[in-house]
Amino acid sequence: MRTKIFIVSLIFLFIVSCNEKSGNKADRKPAKIEFEETNHDFGEVEFGGDASVDFIFTNKGKSPLILEDVRSTCGCTVPEWTREPVNESGTGNIRVIYDSHRVGSFSKTLIVYSNAENSPVRLFIKGRIMPHEENPADSVKNN
């Protein structure tokens, strides 16, 4: 009789333990990444000029947000990002630098991978790098 009570008690404890664990998961809300903007238009940029932008994001979830990777569509676009976990309501930054030594129009996509429920997120940049204009004073000096 004691053995049966002991076995029933163990089964009961196991069921209660499983319910508590799954209940905690249901109560937890995953991280959620939300950007202030996902598109940036540089407009016209001088050859060799500043072509960088900061994409600011907020963790709208309940769990810490971790950026796993930020990939660009080409090597001309270099991303730098917050590496430490971003807690609930905290903010982070992804800085995107475009190589402004490439004349002409550009349109690039960056893909942000994270542990957020809405991952991946795409960011877009575009603009036009203007040709380098020779300074008239320089051509006089060369003659």
pLDDT beneath 70: ranges in the chain: 1-28, 134-143
- 139: helix, strand or coil: helix
Handedness of CA 96, 102, 107, 109 (dihedral sign): negative
pLDDT at 22: 46
Decide the pairing of beta strands 121-130 and 39-46: parallel
Bridge partners, 39 (sequence order): 124
Q: Which residues in 115-126 are b (16+ Cβ under 10 Å) and which e?
A: bbeebebebebe
Q: Which residues have a Cβ under 8 Å from the Cβ of 35 and sit 6 or more positions away?
A: 55, 56, 57, 121, 123
pLDDT at 132: 80
Two tokens, residue 51: 């072509």
Token representation of residue 139: 């051509």
The per-residue pLDDT for 133 is: 74
Task: Determine contact, residues 79/72, Cβ cutoff 8 Å.
Answer: yes
* pLDDT at res. 29: 76
36 token code pair: 């202030």
Dist CA 54 CA 78 (whole Å): 12
pTM of the predicted protein model: 0.74
Hey, which residues does 95 pair with through a beta bridge?
A: 54, 80
Cβ atoms of residues 91 and 58 within 8 Å? yes
Nearest residue to 106 via CA among 70, 71, 75, 132: 75
